[in-house]
Amino acid sequence: MNYLWAALAFVMVFFLRRSFAELLQSHHWYARNYAGRETTFPWGILLVGVVAVLYALRLLAEGLNPLFIKGLIALYGAGFLGLVDDAVGDEKYRGVKGHLSAFFAERKLTSGLIKAVGGAILALALGLPADGRVGLLVAALNLALAMNAINLLDLRPGRACKAFFLAFFLLLLAGTRNAAVLLGLPLAMAVLAYFPLDLMEQGMLGDTGANALGAILGLMLAYDLTFSGQLLSLAFLTALHLIAARYSLSACIVSLPPLAALDRLGRPRK
């Protein structure tokens, strides 16, 4: 049954792609990508909408399941925070330090600060079932950092999707697979249907999609990994953010041949 729901997610996104592209074009929703090319965005709206519908239908068909309830909260909460940034984001301010400086020094409320504060609250709420304060803190940090990590990687065509796929398959191998199958599989199939548009620079996830992918990934980390596994994922995500704060992630990826090859995989040659 899980695979039928996942297949339905793929079919729905696949057949809605053309109509959704026309909707974005009719409202002039474009963003410039890394190469300065105008691309329709944010396609995360479609992914969030389709997968949220499937989670809700499973709740109606199979009864209350805390995972689907949290999945809905994660998709809508993270997606909304990302949509705020997509709609009114200001690239002048970068990083938590930049947004805090804008608020305290210039008395300016930025979309980035809204997303940071809202993301922290969302992460704490989603991590609540964890045992003890330490467990809650680790789960919440994994959720918050996973949300931002996908966002940090969404700078080249296909990169954020590939990162999500890689993390998803690793969790299928290393975790209990419960959240990965129930929450991650339908989202992965929805992303797979959208993936060619991202690779061909015909669409961008936007923060709406990147945040939603990261939030579901964070739930999978919290539910499918042991506490030791969560500590390892937290260490990796923290290291990734420290590197991103000091260096360009794109430059780091290009400098490492295996990562560079994976990054180019599927993208048209120029």
pLDDT of 92 reads 61
**Where are the chain's structural domains?**
2-264
Strand, coil or helix: what is 84?
Answer: helix
pLDDT in tens, 39-64: 999 999 999 999 999 999 999 998 88
Q: How far apart are CA 58 and CA 52, in angstroms?
A: 10
Q: How many CA atoms, within 13 angstroms, populate the side-chain half-sphere of residue 191?
A: 23
* Mean pLDDT (whole number) for 25-34: 91
Q: Which amino acid is at 124?
A: L
